[in-house]
Every structure is written in structure tokens, then in C-alpha cells.
Structure 1
Amino acid sequence: MPAGSNKKRERQYEHIKESQEERGVPEGRAKEIAARTVNKERARAGEAKTASRASLRDKKSAYQRGGERSHRGAQGPTRDQLYEEARKKNIDGRSSMNKEELRKALGH
């Protein structure tokens, strides 16, 4: 469960996790999906201390989007998702890279 969550977010986390497990998703992956979804909703609602640009600019909620930008989609991750991954890996020059350049730098 994400730190700093309230009772509503705890229920939301458990519901998502159980739903994923019922679909046959392994427990660890189900927990990850639930935590990411809850964290994104917290960021969009202003409940989180920090939030990624993708979380704040997204017009659709995670539920409405239904995974259309998952890393397995036709176009793969968005530029912002690639940028966040590059930031975590501390790749130099990432801010001036386009989507394709970020993809190459990350080895995607």
C-alpha cells in the first residue's frame, strides 16, 4: 500500500489488487499495478507531495484509459514515460531528446 494513503485509497488499492489477481496476474505484479494506479489517482487529486508531468497532464483517469498506454501498446510508452525512466537512470541530455532518442538511449 502506498505510504500516506487514506482509507479510501487503501480500499481502492485492495480492490484493484484483488481484481488483478482474479484475472490471473501474479501477486507481485498485481500489487505493482494497484500501487501505481492509486498513486496516479492521488497525484491527480492533489493528495501526493510529488507527481510526474504525465500524471498531472493526463485528461483521462487510469480507469478510463484502461491501459491504452501500457508498455505493450502499438506505440509503446509515451515520451513522458520514457523521460521519467531516463531520469531515474540519470541519462545525460534527456531533456532535449525526442521520443525516439529516449527510446535508443534506454535501449528499447
Structure 2
Amino acid sequence: MSSNDELSCVYAALILQDDDVAITAEKIQTILKAANVEVEPYWPSLFSKALEGVDLKGLITNVGSGVGAAPAAAAPAAAAPAAGDAKKEDKKKEKEPESEEEDDDMGFGLFD
């Protein structure tokens, strides 16, 4: 669960990115002071280090592009083993009655 400190730093970083300004701890802290938001002192530096060298605009615009493709690609691969599993289950079902018959043939029964 996100804390208000984290959320405040995220919004400050997004504001800086929207204005094409480099995301630094000092600039995040400046935005937070202007908004009268107090956060723990380590949050701005943590966010600036985490976002250092990251293309934030590319990250934001590509959030939804990969999400839909991954399950669709995995579905055919998952369907093939499922068919094989169904055959194995059929064989298991066929074997189970045989084991019951063997017990009956030996004179062992539930109500004997």
C-alpha cells in the first residue's frame, strides 16, 4: 500500500517530467514545499535515484501496450499441454476401475 509520502513524490516527479525538467531530489523537494506537503527527507532522493536514467514518458505511454499481448501469447502454449493432460486423465480414469475390480476379485470388499 502506498503512503502519502510516496504518492506525493510520484506526483512531483510526474510534474517535473511533464515540464521536461530533470528529476532531482532538490526539484522534487521544491515542488513539495510549494504544495505545502511534508515528506520524510529520504523520499525525494530515493525517487530521484530510482528514476535516474529512466525514460519516464516512454514508461508511461507503454504501460498498456504489453499487458494485453502477454496473456494472448501464452494462451496457445497453455492449451497444448491441457489437451495432453486430458488424455492422461482419461487413462487414469480407465485404470481406477481396474484396481477396484482387482480388489473384488481377491475377495476384499467394502461390506464383506
TM tier, shorter chain? under 0.3
Relative contact order higher in (CA < 8 Å, ≥ 6 apart): 2
TM (norm. structure 2) is: 0.26
Structure with greater helix share of residues:
2
